């Protein structure tokens, strides 16, 4: 599984978690479905490949303002809980992230400018 697939799956889990708690549904409600679809497209189009660390550290703000805000709320709720709900996925994702950060993290802010040769 590459980084993008992993990220999509993780985002799906996080949105599901948020939706179940806040929107009273067994499956995703229309607005959460739309947010997931939106995130999916953004991840597919992301140009950072496997060297990307995480969207929260990304210096390219590819989300529209209102979507970014929705996503922030999802992350705020699901972030601390996702480890319990999808431990395997979370661990895999964290490994990816750590590796990317070790390699200079293609798009991480603190490395900006230092890592032009990758
Ligand atoms: Zn929902």
CA 73 to ligand 1 center in whole angstroms? 12
pLDDT of residue 53: 60
φ and ψ at residue 58, rounded to 5 degrees: -70, 140
pLDDT of residue 77: 95
Query: What does each C-alpha distance from 96 to 3, 54, 63 come to in angstroms?
Result: 7, 9, 22
State the Cα–Cα distance between residues 1 and 95, nearest whole angstrom.
Answer: 13
Q: For 4, left (φ over 0), alpha (ψ -120 to 50), or beta? A: alpha
Residue segments in the chain with a per-residue pLDDT below the cut of 50: 108-118
pLDDT of residue 1: 72
State the Cα–Cα distance between residues 90 and 55, nearest whole angstrom.
Answer: 15
CA 79 to ligand 1 center in whole angstroms? 16
CA 34 to ligand 1 center in whole angstroms? 9
pLDDT of residue 100: 79
């Amino acid at each position: 599984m590459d980084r993008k697939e992993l990220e999509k799956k993780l985002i799906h889990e996080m949105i599901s978690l948020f939706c179940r708690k806040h929107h009273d549904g067994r499956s995703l409600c229309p607005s959460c479905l739309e947010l997931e679809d939106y995130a999916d497209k953004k991840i597919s189009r992301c140009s950072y490949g496997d060297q990307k660390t995480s969207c929260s550290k990304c210096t390219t703000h590819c989300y529209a303002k209102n979507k970014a805000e929705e996503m922030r709320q999802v992350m705020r709720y699901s972030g601390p809980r996702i480890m319990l709900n999808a431990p395997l996925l979370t661990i895999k994702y964290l490994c990816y992230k750590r590796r990317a950060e070790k390699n200079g993290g293609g798009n991480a802010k603190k490395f900006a400018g230092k890592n032009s040769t990758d």
